Amino acid sequence: MALRLTEQPSLYDHLETKSVAELLRDINTEDKKVPLAIEAALPEIERLVTAIEKTIKEGGRMFWLGCGTGGKLAVLDVLEVPNTYGVDPECWQAVLAGGVENLVLDLEEAEDDIDEGWRTLRDKHHITPKDIVVGLSASGNTPYVLAAMKACKENGIPCGSICNNPDSPISLEVNYPVEIVMGPEFITGSTRMKSGTSQKLLCDMISTTVMVRLGRVQGNRMVCANLINNKVIDRLTRTMVERNPGLSYEYCEEIIKKTGGLVKAEAYLKKEGILQ
Protein backbone atom coordinates (compact mmCIF):
# COMPACT_ATOMS: atom_id res chain seq x y z
CA MET A 1 0.00 0.00 0.00
CA ALA A 2 1.38 3.43 -0.98
CA LEU A 3 2.03 5.87 1.83
CA ARG A 4 -0.51 8.68 2.17
CA LEU A 5 0.92 12.12 1.39
CA THR A 6 0.68 13.11 5.05
CA GLU A 7 2.93 10.15 5.95
CA GLN A 8 5.51 10.51 3.21
CA PRO A 9 9.08 11.52 4.15
CA SER A 10 9.75 15.19 4.78
CA LEU A 11 11.32 17.24 2.03
CA TYR A 12 13.98 18.15 4.57
CA ASP A 13 16.52 15.88 6.25
CA HIS A 14 19.33 15.94 8.82
CA LEU A 15 17.28 18.41 10.83
CA GLU A 16 19.43 17.87 13.91
CA THR A 17 22.38 19.44 12.07
CA LYS A 18 20.55 22.65 11.16
CA SER A 19 20.82 25.99 12.93
CA VAL A 20 17.88 27.73 14.58
CA ALA A 21 17.68 30.15 11.64
CA GLU A 22 17.65 27.30 9.13
CA LEU A 23 14.93 25.37 10.98
CA LEU A 24 12.72 28.43 11.31
CA ARG A 25 13.19 29.35 7.65
CA ASP A 26 12.34 25.86 6.45
CA ILE A 27 9.26 25.55 8.67
CA ASN A 28 8.10 28.96 7.45
CA THR A 29 8.63 27.87 3.85
CA GLU A 30 6.32 24.90 4.41
CA ASP A 31 3.74 26.96 6.29
CA LYS A 32 3.42 29.34 3.33
CA LYS A 33 1.93 26.48 1.35
CA VAL A 34 -1.15 26.27 3.60
CA PRO A 35 -3.23 29.25 2.37
CA LEU A 36 -2.53 28.32 -1.25
CA ALA A 37 -3.80 24.79 -0.66
CA ILE A 38 -6.92 26.20 0.98
CA GLU A 39 -7.46 28.56 -1.95
CA ALA A 40 -7.53 25.57 -4.29
CA ALA A 41 -10.40 24.08 -2.27
CA LEU A 42 -12.55 27.21 -1.89
CA PRO A 43 -15.45 25.88 -4.04
CA GLU A 44 -15.73 22.77 -1.84
CA ILE A 45 -15.50 24.89 1.32
CA GLU A 46 -18.26 27.13 -0.02
CA ARG A 47 -20.59 24.15 -0.49
CA LEU A 48 -19.92 22.99 3.06
CA VAL A 49 -20.47 26.44 4.56
CA THR A 50 -23.71 26.90 2.62
CA ALA A 51 -25.00 23.60 3.99
CA ILE A 52 -24.07 24.56 7.56
CA GLU A 53 -25.73 27.95 7.21
CA LYS A 54 -28.94 26.34 5.94
CA THR A 55 -28.89 23.83 8.80
CA ILE A 56 -28.55 26.50 11.49
CA LYS A 57 -31.18 28.77 9.92
CA GLU A 58 -33.63 25.87 9.90
CA GLY A 59 -33.09 25.19 13.60
CA GLY A 60 -30.52 22.42 13.32
CA ARG A 61 -27.13 22.09 14.97
CA MET A 62 -23.56 21.97 13.72
CA PHE A 63 -21.17 19.38 15.18
CA TRP A 64 -17.44 19.18 14.65
CA LEU A 65 -16.17 15.65 15.24
CA GLY A 66 -12.54 14.68 15.54
CA CYS A 67 -9.56 13.50 17.52
CA GLY A 68 -5.94 14.53 17.89
CA THR A 69 -5.04 18.00 16.63
CA GLY A 70 -8.18 18.44 14.53
CA GLY A 71 -10.47 17.51 17.39
CA LYS A 72 -8.73 19.90 19.77
CA LEU A 73 -8.95 22.75 17.28
CA ALA A 74 -12.66 22.03 16.87
CA VAL A 75 -13.12 22.29 20.64
CA LEU A 76 -11.32 25.65 20.59
CA ASP A 77 -13.67 26.89 17.87
CA VAL A 78 -16.71 25.78 19.87
CA LEU A 79 -15.41 27.48 23.01
CA GLU A 80 -15.03 30.81 21.23
CA VAL A 81 -18.04 31.05 18.91
CA PRO A 82 -20.87 31.49 21.47
CA ASN A 83 -19.21 34.41 23.29
CA THR A 84 -17.87 36.06 20.15
CA TYR A 85 -21.18 35.96 18.31
CA GLY A 86 -23.75 35.61 21.08
CA VAL A 87 -25.30 32.42 19.75
CA ASP A 88 -26.79 29.53 21.70
CA PRO A 89 -23.95 27.06 22.45
CA GLU A 90 -26.34 24.26 21.47
CA CYS A 91 -26.15 25.26 17.81
CA TRP A 92 -22.35 24.96 17.53
CA GLN A 93 -20.82 21.94 19.25
CA ALA A 94 -17.85 19.57 19.18
CA VAL A 95 -17.48 15.84 19.73
CA LEU A 96 -13.94 14.83 20.68
CA ALA A 97 -12.56 11.31 20.89
CA GLY A 98 -12.26 10.47 24.57
CA GLY A 99 -14.70 13.24 25.51
CA VAL A 100 -14.41 17.03 25.48
CA GLU A 101 -14.22 16.90 29.27
CA ASN A 102 -10.97 14.93 28.94
CA LEU A 103 -9.31 17.33 26.51
CA VAL A 104 -6.18 17.88 28.63
CA LEU A 105 -5.64 14.13 29.07
CA ASP A 106 -4.78 13.78 25.37
CA LEU A 107 -6.35 10.34 24.95
CA GLU A 108 -4.78 9.61 21.57
CA GLU A 109 -5.71 5.91 21.73
CA ALA A 110 -9.37 6.92 21.48
CA GLU A 111 -8.91 7.61 17.76
CA ASP A 112 -9.03 3.84 17.13
CA ASP A 113 -12.46 3.45 18.76
CA ILE A 114 -14.94 2.89 15.92
CA ASP A 115 -18.05 3.05 18.12
CA GLU A 116 -17.57 6.04 20.41
CA GLY A 117 -18.14 8.84 17.90
CA TRP A 118 -21.51 7.67 16.66
CA ARG A 119 -22.54 6.57 20.15
CA THR A 120 -21.82 10.07 21.49
CA LEU A 121 -23.75 11.73 18.68
CA ARG A 122 -26.70 9.37 19.09
CA ASP A 123 -26.96 8.92 22.87
CA LYS A 124 -25.61 12.19 24.26
CA HIS A 125 -26.59 14.68 21.56
CA HIS A 126 -29.60 12.85 20.07
CA ILE A 127 -28.45 13.69 16.55
CA THR A 128 -31.14 13.92 13.85
CA PRO A 129 -31.22 14.51 10.07
CA LYS A 130 -31.93 18.18 10.87
CA ASP A 131 -28.33 18.53 12.12
CA ILE A 132 -24.99 18.42 10.29
CA VAL A 133 -21.70 16.80 11.33
CA VAL A 134 -18.24 17.72 10.03
CA GLY A 135 -15.42 15.26 10.65
CA LEU A 136 -11.80 16.35 10.86
CA SER A 137 -9.10 13.82 9.97
CA ALA A 138 -5.72 14.75 8.53
CA SER A 139 -5.25 11.26 7.11
CA GLY A 140 -8.86 10.90 5.98
CA ASN A 141 -8.79 7.40 7.40
CA THR A 142 -8.93 7.88 11.19
CA PRO A 143 -11.13 5.01 12.50
CA TYR A 144 -13.00 7.14 15.07
CA VAL A 145 -13.96 9.79 12.52
CA LEU A 146 -14.47 7.51 9.53
CA ALA A 147 -16.81 5.16 11.41
CA ALA A 148 -18.89 8.06 12.72
CA MET A 149 -19.24 9.51 9.21
CA LYS A 150 -20.36 6.15 7.87
CA ALA A 151 -22.97 5.90 10.63
CA CYS A 152 -24.21 9.42 9.87
CA LYS A 153 -24.58 8.49 6.20
CA GLU A 154 -26.50 5.33 7.09
CA ASN A 155 -28.86 7.34 9.30
CA GLY A 156 -29.54 10.12 6.81
CA ILE A 157 -27.58 12.79 8.67
CA PRO A 158 -25.87 15.36 6.42
CA CYS A 159 -22.12 15.43 6.96
CA GLY A 160 -18.94 16.96 5.67
CA SER A 161 -15.25 16.34 6.20
CA ILE A 162 -11.91 18.10 6.27
CA CYS A 163 -8.82 16.07 5.49
CA ASN A 164 -5.34 16.54 4.05
CA ASN A 165 -4.98 13.68 1.58
CA PRO A 166 -6.45 13.42 -1.92
CA ASP A 167 -9.06 10.76 -2.68
CA SER A 168 -9.34 9.86 1.00
CA PRO A 169 -11.79 7.23 2.35
CA ILE A 170 -13.66 9.81 4.42
CA SER A 171 -14.44 11.89 1.33
CA LEU A 172 -16.46 8.97 -0.03
CA GLU A 173 -18.65 8.84 3.07
CA VAL A 174 -19.82 12.45 3.30
CA ASN A 175 -21.99 14.89 1.41
CA TYR A 176 -19.54 17.79 1.54
CA PRO A 177 -15.89 16.65 1.38
CA VAL A 178 -13.05 19.15 1.64
CA GLU A 179 -9.51 18.01 0.90
CA ILE A 180 -6.66 20.40 1.67
CA VAL A 181 -3.67 18.64 0.10
CA MET A 182 -0.57 19.67 2.03
CA GLY A 183 2.01 17.07 1.01
CA PRO A 184 4.67 15.75 3.42
CA GLU A 185 5.03 17.43 6.78
CA PHE A 186 8.24 19.16 7.89
CA ILE A 187 8.63 16.44 10.51
CA THR A 188 7.59 13.23 8.77
CA GLY A 189 4.04 12.33 9.80
CA SER A 190 3.64 15.26 12.23
CA THR A 191 0.23 16.41 11.04
CA ARG A 192 -0.11 18.91 13.87
CA MET A 193 2.04 21.15 11.65
CA LYS A 194 0.83 22.08 8.13
CA SER A 195 -2.25 19.88 8.27
CA GLY A 196 -3.17 21.21 11.70
CA THR A 197 -2.61 24.78 10.54
CA SER A 198 -4.95 24.22 7.61
CA GLN A 199 -7.58 22.80 9.97
CA LYS A 200 -7.30 25.81 12.29
CA LEU A 201 -7.69 28.21 9.37
CA LEU A 202 -10.72 26.29 8.10
CA CYS A 203 -12.39 26.23 11.51
CA ASP A 204 -11.98 30.01 11.65
CA MET A 205 -13.14 30.53 8.06
CA ILE A 206 -16.18 28.31 8.40
CA SER A 207 -17.46 29.52 11.76
CA THR A 208 -16.81 33.19 10.93
CA THR A 209 -18.52 33.01 7.54
CA VAL A 210 -21.54 31.20 8.98
CA MET A 211 -21.89 33.71 11.82
CA VAL A 212 -21.69 36.66 9.43
CA ARG A 213 -24.35 35.03 7.27
CA LEU A 214 -26.52 34.53 10.35
CA GLY A 215 -26.46 38.28 11.02
CA ARG A 216 -24.17 38.17 14.04
CA VAL A 217 -21.92 40.82 12.47
CA GLN A 218 -22.93 44.28 11.27
CA GLY A 219 -20.50 46.19 9.08
CA ASN A 220 -17.35 44.57 10.36
CA ARG A 221 -18.22 44.58 14.07
CA MET A 222 -19.08 41.75 16.50
CA VAL A 223 -22.27 43.43 17.59
CA CYS A 224 -23.75 40.37 19.32
CA ALA A 225 -20.76 39.47 21.53
CA ASN A 226 -21.54 38.41 25.09
CA LEU A 227 -20.48 40.82 27.84
CA ILE A 228 -17.75 38.54 29.15
CA ASN A 229 -15.20 41.17 30.21
CA ASN A 230 -14.41 44.90 30.25
CA LYS A 231 -12.60 44.72 26.91
CA VAL A 232 -15.74 43.49 25.15
CA ILE A 233 -17.94 46.03 26.93
CA ASP A 234 -15.59 48.83 25.86
CA ARG A 235 -15.51 47.56 22.26
CA LEU A 236 -19.31 47.42 22.06
CA THR A 237 -19.65 50.82 23.73
CA ARG A 238 -17.28 52.48 21.25
CA THR A 239 -19.19 50.85 18.40
CA MET A 240 -22.48 52.19 19.74
CA VAL A 241 -21.04 55.71 20.06
CA GLU A 242 -19.74 55.56 16.48
CA ARG A 243 -23.15 54.44 15.24
CA ASN A 244 -24.99 56.98 17.40
CA PRO A 245 -22.72 60.04 17.71
CA GLY A 246 -25.33 61.96 19.67
CA LEU A 247 -24.92 59.63 22.65
CA SER A 248 -22.10 59.79 25.18
CA TYR A 249 -19.72 56.94 25.93
CA GLU A 250 -20.90 56.76 29.53
CA TYR A 251 -24.56 56.57 28.55
CA CYS A 252 -23.96 53.88 25.91
CA GLU A 253 -21.95 51.82 28.38
CA GLU A 254 -24.72 52.08 30.96
CA ILE A 255 -27.42 50.97 28.53
CA ILE A 256 -25.31 48.13 27.13
CA LYS A 257 -24.71 46.79 30.64
CA LYS A 258 -28.38 47.23 31.51
CA THR A 259 -29.73 45.41 28.45
CA GLY A 260 -26.96 42.84 28.00
CA GLY A 261 -25.54 43.83 24.63
CA LEU A 262 -25.23 46.34 21.80
CA VAL A 263 -28.10 45.13 19.62
CA LYS A 264 -30.37 44.87 22.65
CA ALA A 265 -29.30 48.33 23.81
CA GLU A 266 -30.15 49.95 20.50
CA ALA A 267 -33.45 48.08 20.29
CA TYR A 268 -34.30 49.31 23.79
CA LEU A 269 -33.51 52.93 22.90
CA LYS A 270 -35.58 52.71 19.72
CA LYS A 271 -38.49 51.35 21.72
CA GLU A 272 -38.11 54.27 24.13
CA GLY A 273 -38.04 56.74 21.23
CA ILE A 274 -34.50 57.86 21.93
CA LEU A 275 -33.17 56.42 18.67
CA GLN A 276 -34.92 56.41 15.30
Look at residue 76 in the predicted model and tell me its pLDDT.
95
Average pLDDT value for the chain: 94
Long-range CB pairs of 49-53, under 8 A, 24+ apart, other chains included: 49/205, 49/206, 49/209, 49/210, 49/213, 51/132, 51/158, 51/160, 51/175, 51/176, 52/132, 52/134, 52/160, 52/206, 52/210, 53/209, 53/210, 53/213, 53/214
- Averaged over 233-241, what is the pLDDT? 96
Distance CA 142, CA 191 (A): 13
Asked whether residue 145 falls in the same domain as residue 19, the answer is yes
Asked whether residue 34 falls in the same domain as residue 96, the answer is yes
Per DSSP, 89 falls in state: G
H helix and E strand count, the chain:
10, 5
Asked whether residue 78 falls in the same domain as residue 158, the answer is yes
Look at residue 106 in the predicted model and tell me its pLDDT.
63
Per DSSP, 70 falls in state: H
Look at residue 42 in the predicted model and tell me its pLDDT.
98
Distance CA 66, CA 133 (A): 10
User: For the whole model, what pTM was predicted?
Assistant: 0.93
Look at residue 267 in the predicted model and tell me its pLDDT.
93
Range of the domain at 240: 230-271
Concerning whether 80 is annotated as a catalytic residue, the answer is yes
In a domain, 219, yes or no: no
Of 213, 240, 260, the one marking the end of a domain is 213
Distance CA 242, CA 203 (A): 31
In a domain, 218, yes or no: no
Distance CA 70, CA 16 (A): 28
Residue 114 maps to which CATH number? 3.40.50.10490
Distance CA 185, CA 153 (A): 31
Q: Indicate whether 4 pLDDT > 90.
A: no
Q: Are 65 and 133 in contact (CB under 8 A)?
A: yes
Asked whether residue 182 falls in the same domain as residue 235, the answer is no
In a domain, 55, yes or no: yes
Identify the active-site residue in 30, 111, 116, 179: 111
**Predicted confidence (pLDDT) per residue in 76-126, tens digit:** 999 999 999 999 999 999 999 988 777 766 666 678 889 999 999 999 999
Q: Indicate whether 2 pLDDT > 70.
A: no
Look at residue 1 in the predicted model and tell me its pLDDT.
53
Distance CA 180, CA 178 (A): 7
Asked whether residue 170 falls in the same domain as residue 42, the answer is yes
Asked whether residue 148 falls in the same domain as residue 265, the answer is no
Asked whether residue 173 falls in the same domain as residue 254, the answer is no
Look at residue 105 in the predicted model and tell me its pLDDT.
67
In a domain, 224, yes or no: no
Number of domains in the chain: 2
- Averaged over 56-72, what is the pLDDT? 95
